[in-house]
Structure formats: C-alpha cells, structure tokens
Amino acid sequence: MDPTHPTDGDSGTPSPGQPPHGGTPQQPQYGGSPQQNPYGAPQHPGQSGPGQPGIGQPGPGQAGFGQPGYAGQPPYQGQPYPGQQYPGAQYGGQAPYPGMPGPYPGQPQKTSVPAILSLIFGVLGGILISIILGIVALTQIPKKGQKGKGLAIAGLAVSGLWLVGIVVAIAVFGDGEPDRDASGQVTTTQNTRPDKLRVGDCVSEINEGEVANIKVVPCDQPTGGKIFAVFDLPAGDWPGLTAVQTAAENGCTSRWKVSKQQASADSSIFYLHPTEDGWSLGDRGTTCLLTPK
C-alpha cells in the first residue's frame, strides 16, 4: 500500500481516532492529563508556553511589569532588602552582654583609700601624713577612675588650716623662748611662757589667775614688773593649791630679803606658781616679780 494515499478513498482527512498521514501517531497537545513540570512549578493561566511571551513576563527586548507571585502564596515579609536593617538589630557596634566587664553607666566607683585617710589625719592634726596621702590620692584617682577627689582636697585644706594656725600661734604667743642679746637681755616685745622667764626680765603687765603666756619687754621701756628670783618647789605629790601658794609666797619673800635690793618706788611682790595640771606634768617652777603698786 502506498502510504501517501488514503486507505478509504476520502479526501485525505483522517477519521477520528486514526493517526495523521505518515503512519506515525502523534501525542495530543491539549487533551488528556497535563504534562508535569519537572521543577514542581505548575503552569498557571496566562503563563505562556516555550518561546512565547506571557503576561507579566517580558519577551525579548521588552520591559517587564514585575513578576507576579503564585496564587495563594503570601508575599515575602521580614526579609530585608539591601540597606534595610532587621528590626531590633544594631549595627556599628554591639552592646555588651550582661556580665561583661566595662565602664557601664551607673557602675559604682570605689572611693580612694588614701583620700579618706588624708581627711582623717588632717582632722586629727597629722599634717605631714595628711599632705602626703592627699597628694597620692589626687595622683591615683584619675588613673584608677576612683572617687574621693573632694576628700583628698578637704584633707589638704584642713592640713593647711593647721599650718596657718601654728604660724599664727607662734607669731602671737611666741615659740617659748624670747629673743635675747649676747648678755641675755630681752631685745623685743614678745609673748613667752612663764617657765622661759629669767632673772632680770621685764614684763609689760601681769594679772592674777592662770597665766599661759606673758609678754616680755626690754627693761629700758616702761614695765609692769621685773623678775628677781626663779626657783623650784620641792618634788612630791600635789600638796594642794593653798600649800603651793604658801610655799611660793614664802620662797619669794625670803629671796627678796636675801637680795637686799631696794625698790625705787612703792612696790609689791608677785609670784607665779605651778597649777595642779602643770604639777602633774612635772612643773615645779616658781617665778618672783617685783611689781609697782
């Protein structure tokens, strides 16, 4: 049989169910089950076949309108585009985790021990120790990040006040020993302690009661009295104020008589004797003065 001629003598159109001319049957293109996509992506209406531009997919040389998502598939969310930060994420430096060391805000600072000691010794009068500790504290505090700069400064300030007070006390009350010339005579008016008085010294004035300091003056100036004798009372326990006053008065009177001096004006004998506190510290000295009435 000639394969180029139909078998039933019609016009060449094959009957339904028969393969087209050529003897080789062809697979239907649209009937039956659709061919499965090897990648698992189903064809959707409106999507073009191979070689044909489809809706939403640009053809060669044609600009597209954006690729649509699949039906029923939610749009992507939460995935950042270039330049977008994740919510809650921090860039340009990560915050330290709890427990990691570092100078966090609010972290308590230790107080400098030398600063504390500087203030304590300053208040107690330990001037040298206070100054040294204060300088050490001011040097260490910035390096160690400690507190206490104010304490160190306060300690130095208190020590400075002590120094000023000592200088003033020396200027006002004297250092105990008056200025004298080569012969031992007082050369300037100044304050001194009673136990530093010598025979022949002159005082500006003297009053009854406890005397802590007394002002001495050169004897060529008007004076309020002149020392004519200095002696110590007998050692022993404190005998009482009356016994001390009696012993001091008797000792000064007897010594004035023995000296056979004559007062140039109407005068009286005045004496300085130890107090009970001074006696307990070993003071037994008694000073006798001739004072004008």
Tell me what pLDDT residue 105 has: 57
Distant-in-sequence contacts of 235-240, Cβ < 8 A, 24+ apart: 235/284, 238/276, 238/279, 238/280
| Span 88-132, pLDDT tens digits | 444 444 555 555 454 555 567 889 999 999 999 999 989 999 999
Tell me what pLDDT residue 136 has: 93
- DSSP secondary structure code for residue 109 in this structure: P
| Span 35-58, pLDDT tens digits | 445 444 444 444 444 444 444 444
Rounded average pLDDT over 239-247: 95
State the number of CA atoms in the 13 A half-sphere of 22 facing the CB.
5
Average pLDDT score, the chain:
74
Tell me what pLDDT residue 231 has: 95
The answer to whether residues 204 and 223 touch, using CB atoms and an 8 Å cutoff, is yes
Question: Of residues 269 and 109, which shows the higher confidence score?
Answer: 269
* DSSP per-residue string spanning 24-53: -----SSSSSPPPPTTS----TT---TTS-
Tell me what pLDDT residue 104 has: 53
Which uninterrupted H or E stretch holds 279? helix 276-280
